[in-house]
Amino acid sequence: MALMTYAQAAAAALGEAMAADAKVVALGEDLGRGGVFGQYRGLQEQYGAHRIIDTPISESNIMGAAVGMALTGLRPVVEMRVIDFALCAIDEIVNQAAKNRFMFGGQGRVPLVMRLPIGIWSASAAQHSQSLEAWFAHIPGLVVVTPATPQDNHGLLRAALASGDPVVYMEHKELWAQQADVDTSLSIALGQARVARPGDDLTIVTWSRGVQPSLDAAQALAEAGVSAEVIDLRTLWPWDREAVLASAARTRRLLVVHEAVQVAGFGAEVAAAVAEALPGVRVKRLGAPRIPVGYSKPLEDQSRLTVDKVLLAARAVLA
């Protein structure tokens, strides 16, 4: 066990993979100085500029090069800085990386990890604060990962690097400094949810930065005599349908919580799956309004996920 930040945990996982396999490389802007959030700190000094590669500012070029690297046997990690910038590389992600294995009968594999940080980044406004996980969960061929803790940012990045398929790896922009003990020997399987808090009266399903407000809301509910179970999906594709259905079948109430815009968010997939499989379960979603994230704090707060918003939604399901 070691005390690490969310950023340090990811750097440790990547460093372990690079030490074990010379085919693992990373490319993107500002990696040599450690990355925007320190998630590559010390790696270029250790492994050299030929493996921690600084690139020009051209997201489509970066992603296209990485797809080519993957098809020729390397295991690239692509850093897009924030998911908003990855929209400049959407063709390479959706039409090249995701489809290659299918279109060519399995002759080619794309063992590529795309680090696309999601979520509100304080005072960074509409083009730096998006949560677009539902876009990528919709695309056949992509694995979608959303770590919420330092432990998961270590274990899930290890799993993503080992998967052999294109992985959209979505760290949250405001979790980098979060600190906790990390067991670097712990393996975490893709598609396996975590019960962050057990409960019997209400199931709260969430991921990424939604986990902590949901846990805080569950604690407040417990003080009022309500037992809420909090499930951290950890990966959105594949997602742990069995764990969610088992919990919802027991509690008969489901609240899905995410920071992304509620309209057509991934919460709708979870809610629909439960409603179809378990008639009679009360289902509610909580997401952001369908507005761009504002720069000013009052506007930004309209999009932010808070404990009070989770509590309000939870009480509506319980009523």
Within-domain flag for 280: yes
Under 8 Å CB-to-CB from 23, ≥6 apart: which residues?
Answer: 73, 74, 75
The whole domain housing 94 covers: 2-182
Q: What's the CA gap between 199 and 231, in Å, rounded? A: 10
In a domain? residue 189 = no
- Do 177 and 198 fall within a single domain? no
Please report whether residue 72 resides in a domain.
yes
How far CA 125 is from CA of 36, 116, 119, 128, 233, in Å, comes to 17, 17, 11, 6, 27
250 with 279, same domain? yes
Can you give the pLDDT of all 319 residues of the chain as single tens digits? 999 999 999 999 999 999 999 999 999 999 999 999 999 999 999 999 999 999 999 999 999 999 999 999 999 999 999 999 999 999 999 999 999 999 999 998 999 999 999 999 999 999 999 999 999 999 999 999 999 999 999 999 999 999 999 999 999 999 999 999 999 999 999 999 999 999 999 999 999 999 999 999 999 999 999 999 999 999 999 999 999 999 999 999 999 999 999 999 999 999 999 999 999 999 999 999 999 999 999 999 999 999 999 999 999 999 9
Name the domain count of the chain.
2
* 3-class state of residue 97 by DSSP: helix
Structure tokens at 235: 């990966």
Q: How far apart are CA 192 and CA 242, in angstroms?
A: 9
Q: Are 204 and 231 in contact (CB under 8 A)?
A: yes
- Return the percentage of the chain with pLDDT > 90, whole number: 99
SS3 of 188-226: CCCCCCEEEECCCCEEEEECHHHHHHHHHHHHHHHHCCC
Taking only Cα atoms into account, the Rg of the chain, rounded to an integer number of angstroms, comes to 19
The CATH number given to whatever domain includes residue 21 is: 3.40.50.970
The CATH number of whichever domain residue 305 belongs to comes to: 3.40.50.920
Of the candidates 155, 182, 209, which is a domain's last residue?
A: 182
50 is catalytic: no
Q: Which of 128, 154, 172, 258 is catalytic?
A: 128
Give tens-digit pLDDT for 168-195: 999 999 999 999 999 999 999 999 999 9
Same domain, 144 and 212: no
The CA-based dihedral angle spanning residues 278, 279, 282, 284, taken in that order and rounded to the nearest 10 degrees: 70
Clarify whether residues 25 and 155 are in a common domain. yes
Residue 103 and residue 130 in one domain: yes
- Shared domain for 154 and 302, answered yes or no, is no
The predicted-structure confidence for 90-141, as pLDDT tens digits, reads as follows 999 999 999 999 999 999 899 999 999 999 999 999 999 999 999 999 999 9
Which pLDDT value is given to residue 63?
A: 98
Co-location of 169 and 219 in the same domain = no
Residues 297 and 215 in one domain: yes
C-beta of residue 171 within 8 angstroms of C-beta of residue 39: yes
What is d(CA 287, CA 210) in angstroms, rounded to the nearest whole number? 10
Taking the C-alpha atoms of residue 137 and residue 266, their distance in angstroms, rounded to an integer, is 8
Residue 187 in domain: no
The answer to whether position 264 is within a domain reads yes
Residue 203 lies in a domain: yes
- One domain for residues 135 and 261: no
Residue 32 in any domain: the answer is yes
Q: Is residue 233 within 8 Å of residue 146, measured between CB atoms?
A: yes
Peptide bond into 111 cis (omega under 30): no
* 19 plus 165 within the same structural domain: yes
Question: CA 235, 241, 247, 248 torsion: positive or negative?
Answer: positive
| Pair 149, 270 in one domain | no
pTM exceeds 0.85? yes
Q: Is the domain of 159 the same as that of 27?
A: yes
